[in-house]
Structure 1
């Protein structure tokens, strides 16, 4: 639609000269070939028909050889090129990666995209390419095609990767709010785009293709570059925060809307374009359907492998590339098609896992830095020094930023989003450099006489806008800690809000119990969950295999890290895939390879980055066939104890009883009975809060059993056990009274909301001491498949007096340890929960 930047402009001028020389050469060849044909035609009058056919085939062979040699020469090196353009392009990519890495280390708080754009500016005509020798090396006649090719491949891969990683349930739940915020700034930009279009039309004397010029101006003002927003948020570790995810999908909706509107308006300008748009849509839908069948076939074919083979990955990428080339060849961008292919790709199974494994590292490490760097490479600062160009550049940037800020603030005010979060959203949505840049660099038509003058202006606007806005966004994200706040306990979490959980497994035996918990917590559509499952693997001292990469079987291992875990990885993946196909609950899987001495620190750091509210840990014992508990891995016990002490959120230890214990409720024909034991204290309140999420499942019947001391002199017994000093006695009375009041209020609210509406059962048991508590527990030992109880921290209570005599596992607490012991002979599983101890008081009110 417009011409290239100053650097690529020189490339096209050189390319035109080369094409003119090649055209003259082709004319001479055609004349010579014509003379040969005339002479051969004259001689053929006296020859046989067979000789004519043989001569014709010889001429065709010579023509094919000439065309092939010509195409190869054009692709590899033009006669006017001083260097092979493939070498110069590769060296440019290398320079961008190295310089961007240096800038990223020096300017780490400002974010990666800023460093990569700056690296491209340094390599481009602004600095290094101003030197004649560097310019002659980087900017050549054939380099433009290579730059376009690299840009096309990068754009195709990262848009497919973005679609593959998109959280579809989150997008469905928040589509209204996301659309309002994404459209707020864009609508205001369209309103102010009219006067700006009139001004630029007068300045550049636009008389032809005015509608295309108007769409270009509106796209530059309204578009948000989703890849830059995603990169900025992920590097700031805000991709798991509510604000980060909200901004990410706002930018995605904004850009896809701009592409859809631009494509729709352009398709209605003529019948041929409308037909092409319909054709691209049909081909995209056909490939989406084909990918579903291919994914199912590849998963079934590689049932005994960890990943699908490289050839099968190539088939998926070949289809993606074919669709992209087809869409680009008929005049439409492939951004939306690639994103839709990734968005609709089946998430469960080995195919999706392999694609994520292959693409995530490559896209984040190479593709996006090169793409952002090439954006900066096209920018020439010298073109902005003109007074008129500088004034127009500043004006367009102010209009773009102003409309985004005002429109986003208005939308956030309507949705009651805090002003500080609205400010961050407005700046994030003002980042540019993807679809708008593609339109700016698209090939102009002869009617677009304004293209040469407008190109540098709009390119300067896009690059300078991102270079200015990027550091501002990075500073706001790093300083605004309140936006990163997340509930670290279930007690303060709204039961109908999203629950983020992290389940840890060491061996395949642990998977069934943890996916059963995930299934129980995700039984209600109105209470969404975000489950993560991490496979904890001990880091061995030596590699198990000495095979080099080329000696590995196709699709077996991709790196040394993939060797860790052995066949357990395959069994865990199969169990998770089976669970996902049955329940439609997508579990985000990962692997943590570390020494068992420090694996608890890595686990806690990962839980903090994922912003989960609870961590589920497996118990170090497992049940044998005869019902006895046996140690499986003693190291698990020490790890659990360390995680309980240092976890950034609540922790639950799950004691799985196997076939006799808690089973996956999804698809179960019978209703499972679950009991929550409430003795009082913060841990028991956290256990009751977890039960509120579980009771929403239709295949679960929950009963809350509250133990109450029967003694009338309850306060005196606590005082005698606490202290004999007056000051400490008064403090103990105050603490006990406050804790009891909180317990009573919490239980009363639970009763009014759930028990009174027949959603849960409630039983009170009056006991005098620990012996009666044990007897009461024995009475209900065979009635429930799962017992949920708090770890403790109840102080010295008469309810548990004497129960510490047989304590074996302190990490389970008094009641949990008793239930998990073999002496109780309980068939049900046990979930022991410890509430996170905050250093600061949680924000917000208690919503039960």
Structure 2
């Protein structure tokens, strides 16, 4: 059963490998891979003969190659999972490491095909190697075209294809394994070559979908159990044997690091990247255990050599993740990697890039409607990166999936895959209806605790100006806001704290129905309100609202709250700080520019309301006409305004800001959606922006002193 599980596993490995990818590797990757094999192999052979002198029962001389190859190769699947857990999968060092490990895997299969015949008998080894070459050529140039013709002939009969073809493929893997075993190689060579010969397409997707959980999750542990049963710890019980184990680990690790450092000098790599690459190359996988088991089966390696190597491989692989987490941190790209980090800085003649995040299909309709009314133009088209956030569960590895290829049409797709297909279809339909919008669908799979890192990293890589996040509560049929998932709130808080651009927190309460309530020729379909108090977040929210004004379906009302004569002072001093004066000037200039640009637009209204404290602000909002489909407000991250004094003391959702929390928690706006905007770089004074060009500055705190709410407040 262990041999059968191993045979099926390597068959699946062959299915997943794209041979053409090996033809596209560059000189740098090839140089790192070759150097990472030759130097560690030489050191491994030296360690073998060093152990020969200390061993009571020396192994055969042929065992030096099994020993050296087991120490040399890198486990590609295990390395991929480690890189994903370290959030390095899409980094430069991660891509280099995966490419080198992929080449190492192919070299390992060549070594296995050659070592087994040589280890069995030197006399018959040439005949076995020639037979393996002929077998490989037959699989690639006879079996593969035959399978292609059969698949093409029965491509329309999906039910027959799904039911019988996977069975035939597994039987073929067993037959090929028996053939290579009979000609003097190992059975896994035949199964692997057969997997390579199957043309990539729906059949491969079907096989992987049906067997990807059963073989690695149920059958393969039998092979690992058999490996553990072969270890005889009495052979390495004395202190000298454990010293040899430690010696093997140290020299094997240093061999990979040394080879990576040598390549660094030829390809102008940084020293820290060379060390990190060497550490990652010490990741061992199932092929190392396969080579050791073959040597043990053929009596080429004795019990002591086998035990030393298995323990060394386990320790080396287990140590990679904690050591990398401690010694290697990706260097930040710096704060100026791109300039258009806010909607204000995105000029009317530049592209607006938005990262739109959704958790479930429930979030899609409202998010698409919000993007629909963002009014892309010919001079300012919009690129949307639609990111489906999926919690990492079970044995899966954290990953970012770019849906640039046709989606899987598996017979029984998982829940996450089915949701992704629906989400992708919705965003693609939105793209087809809007020729000025480009949509790139993606799926991020990671634990909820680190999901914000994926969002922020993707936002920086894609150079987006705005991240749109769904609120963690949704509207129920009885009009209440109900928690959907508490982890969603933690994700939103982390993104707000670490985002590399502006963030919009969207509370959807039926915006999709409002947008679709009329025909395309209607003059006004949706009524939006922008509540302006002052500060950088409000300026960013107003900048986003300005983009919507060009849509003939939108009516926008900007309500500006101004302090009255009896306004509450934030501190005992009456002096106005320089930061407050600067922010007040910026707000005033921005509002004046907005009014000047929209003076001829009948769909835009500007209203000023005089209030003195937070209670009057809430009363003024409550007195507004309750017919708005969307409220757009700034979060007020660092703005302590007397007009919102005391509201935060009773806030249920601080991430929405004082005004946003009032809108969501109150009963007068049950049918209105809310968009809360937080501007990037709220702690710095910056110059630049559009409408006008000074829209990105922000003031300092009005005060760090927070007073208790006075009598009569909510």
Pick the TM interval, shorter chain. 0.5 to 0.7
Are the equivalent residues in 2 in contact too, given 1:393–1:457 (CA < 8 A)?
A: no
Partner residue of 1:532? 388
Secondary structure of residue in 2 paired with 1:616? strand
Pairing of 1:18-97 with structure 2 (within 5 A): none
**Alignment partner of 1:475 is 2:290:** no
* Mapped partners of 2:340, 2:30: distance in 1: 27
Q: Deviations over 1:157-197 (max 9, x none)?
A: 5776x779xxx9xx99xx989x9579636514404534765
Are the equivalent residues in 1 in contact too, given 2:472–2:483 (CA < 8 A)?
A: yes
The counterpart of 2:137, out of the listed 271, 274, 278, is: 278
* Mapped partners of 2:36, 2:412: distance in 1: 53
Question: CA 1:609 to 1:808, structure 2 compared with 1: closer, same or farther past 3 Å?
Answer: closer
Secondary structure of residue in 2 paired with 1:452? coil
1:410 to partner: Cα distance = 5.3
* Mapped partners of 1:501, 1:631: distance in 2: 25
Which of the two has greater helix per residue? 1
Q: Deviations over 1:368-412 (max 9, x none)?
A: 654444433333334557999989876654443112112334567
Partner residue of 1:466? 313
Secondary structure of residue in 2 paired with 1:795? coil
Q: Deviations over 1:184-232 (max 9, x none)?
A: 3651440453476589689989xxxx99988756633431123443555
Are the equivalent residues in 2 in contact too, given 1:678–1:789 (CA < 8 A)?
A: yes
1:808 to partner: Cα distance = 14
* Mapped partners of 2:52, 2:337: distance in 1: 61
Partner residue of 2:255? 403
**Alignment partner of 1:616 is 2:469:** yes
Pairing of 1:333-412 with structure 2 (within 5 A): 334-335=191-192, 338=195, 344=200, 362=214, 365-366=217-218, 369-383=221-235, 397-409=249-261
* Mapped partners of 2:450, 2:606: distance in 1: 40
Pairing of 1:156-235 with structure 2 (within 5 A): 156=11, 180=28, 184=32, 186-191=34-39, 193-194=41-42, 197=45, 216=66, 219-230=69-80
* Mapped partners of 2:239, 2:6: distance in 1: 32
Partner residue of 1:543? none
Are the equivalent residues in 1 in contact too, given 2:33–2:101 (CA < 8 A)?
A: no
Pairing of 1:621-640 with structure 2 (within 5 A): 634-636=480-482
Are the equivalent residues in 2 in contact too, given 1:604–1:648 (CA < 8 A)?
A: no
User: Normalization by structure 1: what TM-score?
Assistant: 0.45
* Mapped partners of 2:366, 2:140: distance in 1: 41
* Mapped partners of 2:543, 2:220: distance in 1: 43
Are the equivalent residues in 2 in contact too, given 1:487–1:493 (CA < 8 A)?
A: no
Partner residue of 1:795? 639
Partner residue of 1:256? 102
Unaligned runs of 5+ in 2: 54-59, 115-124, 343-350, 392-410, 433-437, 460-466, 497-503, 517-527, 609-628, 689-695, 697-714
Q: Deviations over 1:672-716 (max 9, x none)?
A: xx999999756468879999xx99xxxx9xxxx9x999x9xx9x9
Are the equivalent residues in 2 in contact too, given 1:397–1:465 (CA < 8 A)?
A: yes
Are the equivalent residues in 2 in contact too, given 1:791–1:834 (CA < 8 A)?
A: yes
Are the equivalent residues in 1 in contact too, given 2:295–2:301 (CA < 8 A)?
A: no
Are the equivalent residues in 1 in contact too, given 2:253–2:282 (CA < 8 A)?
A: yes
Secondary structure of residue in 2 paired with 1:224? coil
Partner residue of 1:576? 424
Partner residue of 1:91? none
Question: CA 1:156 to 1:366, structure 2 compared with 1: closer, same or farther past 3 Å?
Answer: same
Q: Which moved more, 1:643-652 or 1:398-407?
A: 643-652
The counterpart of 2:605, out of the listed 768, 775, 778, is: 775
Question: CA 1:477 to 1:204, structure 2 compared with 1: closer, same or farther past 3 Å?
Answer: closer
Secondary structure of residue in 1 paired with 2:257? helix
Q: Deviations over 1:13-50 (max 9, x none)?
A: xxxxxxxxxxxxxxxxxxxxxxxxxxxxxxxxxxxxxx
CA RMSD of aligned residues (A): 7.3
Partner residue of 1:430? 282
Secondary structure of residue in 2 paired with 1:242? coil
The counterpart of 2:451, out of the listed 576, 586, 607, is: 607
Question: CA 1:316 to 1:494, structure 2 compared with 1: closer, same or farther past 3 Å?
Answer: farther
Unaligned runs of 5+ in 1: 1-145, 302-308, 446-450, 536-554, 591-601, 623-629, 663-673, 748-761, 779-784
Pairing of 1:511-590 with structure 2 (within 5 A): 513=368, 531-533=387-389, 573-574=421-422, 576=424, 585=440, 587-588=442-443
1:641 to partner: Cα distance = 12
Question: CA 1:151 to 1:192, structure 2 compared with 1: closer, same or farther past 3 Å?
Answer: closer
Question: CA 1:203 to 1:721, structure 2 compared with 1: closer, same or farther past 3 Å?
Answer: closer
* Mapped partners of 2:494, 2:375: distance in 1: 23
Are the equivalent residues in 2 in contact too, given 1:788–1:832 (CA < 8 A)?
A: yes
Pairing of 1:688-727 with structure 2 (within 5 A): 722-726=569-573
1:652 to partner: Cα distance = 2.7
1:649 to partner: Cα distance = 1.0
Are the equivalent residues in 1 in contact too, given 2:363–2:470 (CA < 8 A)?
A: no
Q: Radius of gyration: which is bigger?
A: 1
Question: CA 1:412 to 1:456, structure 2 compared with 1: closer, same or farther past 3 Å?
Answer: farther
Q: Deviations over 1:752-808 (max 9, x none)?
A: xxxxxxxxxx9754699xxx9972599xxxxxx99987444473679999xx9xx99
* Mapped partners of 1:377, 1:181: distance in 2: 38
**Alignment partner of 1:326 is 2:167:** no
Are the equivalent residues in 2 in contact too, given 1:786–1:830 (CA < 8 A)?
A: yes
* Mapped partners of 1:611, 1:403: distance in 2: 37
1:463 to partner: Cα distance = 1.2
Partner residue of 1:59? none
Secondary structure of residue in 2 paired with 1:441? helix
Question: CA 1:658 to 1:798, structure 2 compared with 1: closer, same or farther past 3 Å?
Answer: same
* Mapped partners of 1:374, 1:484: distance in 2: 43
**Alignment partner of 1:242 is 2:242:** no
Are the equivalent residues in 2 in contact too, given 1:158–1:363 (CA < 8 A)?
A: no
1:148 to partner: Cα distance = 1.4
1:258 to partner: Cα distance = 2.8
Aligned residues: 550
Are the equivalent residues in 2 in contact too, given 1:490–1:686 (CA < 8 A)?
A: no
Are the equivalent residues in 2 in contact too, given 1:185–1:405 (CA < 8 A)?
A: no
Are the equivalent residues in 2 in contact too, given 1:229–1:428 (CA < 8 A)?
A: yes
Are the equivalent residues in 1 in contact too, given 2:9–2:220 (CA < 8 A)?
A: yes
Pairing of 1:98-113 with structure 2 (within 5 A): none
Question: CA 1:387 to 1:680, structure 2 compared with 1: closer, same or farther past 3 Å?
Answer: same
User: Normalization by structure 2: what TM-score?
Assistant: 0.52
Are the equivalent residues in 1 in contact too, given 2:256–2:281 (CA < 8 A)?
A: yes
Are the equivalent residues in 2 in contact too, given 1:404–1:426 (CA < 8 A)?
A: yes
Question: CA 1:251 to 1:722, structure 2 compared with 1: closer, same or farther past 3 Å?
Answer: same
* Mapped partners of 2:225, 2:587: distance in 1: 58
Question: CA 1:787 to 1:286, structure 2 compared with 1: closer, same or farther past 3 Å?
Answer: farther
Secondary structure of residue in 1 paired with 2:228? helix
Are the equivalent residues in 1 in contact too, given 2:364–2:423 (CA < 8 A)?
A: no
* Mapped partners of 1:220, 1:741: distance in 2: 70
1:441 to partner: Cα distance = 3.5
